Amino acid sequence: MSKARERQKKRRQQQEMVRRSDGRMARHQTRPQDSFQLPQINLPGGRWLWLIPLSIVVLVAVVVVLGLINPPDDITPPNAIWLNADWSYSEPSTETVQALTSQFQENNIGRLFIYTSSLKADGTWSGLVDDRNRFNEVDDRLSDLVLQIREVAPQLELYAWVEITTTTSSGYRLDNLQIHNTIGNFSTLMVNEIGFDGVLLDVKPIFEENEDLLTMMRSVRAKIGLDTPMLVVVPADLTPTDTSLILPAQIAPGTEWSAEFKQRVALQADQIVITAYNSYHTSPVDYIEWVSYQVEAFAAAMTEFDTGATILVSVPVYEENLPAHDGTIESLAGALDGVRRGVSRLELGTEMPLFAGVAIFADHRLTDSEWSIFSDKWGNQN
């Protein structure tokens, strides 16, 4: 058993001992027979009438005391940030984790999407590229990282970012039921052994409607159970029909998901994460409107049928990758402007509750300038 898992087991045993101790103390905290008792008071004229204000005072006192004993849990901000392998595999010090998580909390980031592994062409899970590239090279590192974060920032929610490519050198594989089983088993491992709160399934590329995606999601859900959060990354509608949007010529018209397919995916997931980048746009204004459309389109589709899922919009802060991603067009500021515009157009009572927040997709540790942009553009939305 690894040191990380030994610490996890010891921690669970300590928590169980504390719980049992609390239960024993509660059973023995009874009032002794010779304890002080209030004297009986005979109130003139209808003692029941006097008991009404007295009972109100007692009730208020009980509520106040219970609030002090059991204060309400802190609400975890729904905004998220992706953390790639350069960070999750790096074995950071406790001081580094403390500084980074404090920065997240200061900027209303409550969820971390931590890269775990990618499914390789041979059906095994990747690890260190410059070594044997096997997951057993990094599983202890991830366990340690999860424990570090739990210790310094226990209120953060941690999701295992699991990457799956649909096509390899051997061809298309998402229709392979054994692959589905492999993904489900790995997702279970991430939750039960490594200690993540849930999983984020990043299946790509998958721009068109794909029944195999739904089958795979059902397989994973059967493995991890109904109580474990399952998030799924979904593509934006690149070139939606019946809109006034100015769309890039590089992408075939009608590259989008129907409202029905959006609903079917949302029925399987607890949250869908829309990738609002790689749009091939060349105008900042067109890009902002395109991002706004994604928020509106997904919210409208999910409102038609109660899926129980929410929406998170992933915004870009990563290296330029022309022509799909022009950093001067698909900027953090532009993406957040688009999300804000889309949110402002949602119906308050029906569509607005479906929107959870944004996720920062970054390939580096954000600079002070980038955090400032995030705060200015999104801080007042929390």
DSSP 380: G
Q: Is the pLDDT of residue 333 over 90?
A: yes
- To the nearest whole number, what is the mean pLDDT of the chain? 87
Q: How confident is the model at residue 34 (pLDDT cuts 50, 70, 90)?
A: very low
The C-alpha angle 106, 111, 112, rounded to 5 degrees, equals 100
Per-residue CA distances from 316 to 53, 63, 142 (Å): 59, 46, 25
Q: Is the pLDDT of residue 201 over 80?
A: yes
Q: How confident is the model at residue 305 (pLDDT cuts 50, 70, 90)?
A: confident
Q: Is the pLDDT of residue 13 over 60?
A: no
pLDDT of residue 76: 75
Cα(3)–Cα(10) distance, integer angstroms: 10
pLDDT of residue 329: 97
Q: Is the pLDDT of residue 58 over 80?
A: no
Cα(99)–Cα(14) distance, integer angstroms: 27
CB atoms within 10 A of CB 198: 20
Which amino acid, residue 142?
A: L
The 3-state DSSP class for residue 259 equals helix
Cα(92)–Cα(99) distance, integer angstroms: 11
β-partners of residue 274 are 234, 313
Query: How many angstroms from the chain centroid is the CA of residue 365?
Result: 19
pLDDT of residue 382: 55
For residue 199, count CB atoms less than 10 angstroms from its CB and return exposed for 0-12, middle for 13-18, buried for 19 or more: buried
Q: Is the pLDDT of residue 84 over 90?
A: yes
Q: How confident is the model at residue 77 (pLDDT cuts 50, 70, 90)?
A: confident
Q: How confident is the model at residue 192 (pLDDT cuts 50, 70, 90)?
A: very high
pLDDT of residue 227: 96
Whose CA is closest to 186, among 214, 219, 156? Answer: 219
pLDDT of residue 12: 52
pLDDT of residue 99: 95
Residue recorded with tokens 């959006």: 262
Q: How confident is the model at residue 42 (pLDDT cuts 50, 70, 90)?
A: low
Q: How confident is the model at residue 6 (pLDDT cuts 50, 70, 90)?
A: low
Let me know: does 272 contact 312? Beta carbons within 8 Å. Answer: yes
Q: What is the pTM of this model?
A: 0.81
Peptide bond into 248 cis (omega under 30): no
DSSP 98-147: HHHHHHHHHTTEEEEEEEEEEB-TTSPBP--TTTT--GGGTHHHHHHHHH
Per-residue pLDDT tens over the stretch 253-281: 999 999 999 999 999 999 999 999 999 99
Per-residue pLDDT tens over the stretch 345-355: 999 999 999 99
pLDDT of residue 52: 52
Let me know: does 317 contact 360? Beta carbons within 8 Å. Answer: yes
List the beta strands (DSSP E) in 147-251: 157-165, 167-168, 171-172, 198-204, 230-235
Domain residue limits, the chain? 79-381
pLDDT of residue 109: 97
CATH fold group of domain 79-381: TIM Barrel (3.20.20)
Q: Quick one: which H or E segment has residue 268? A: helix 259-268
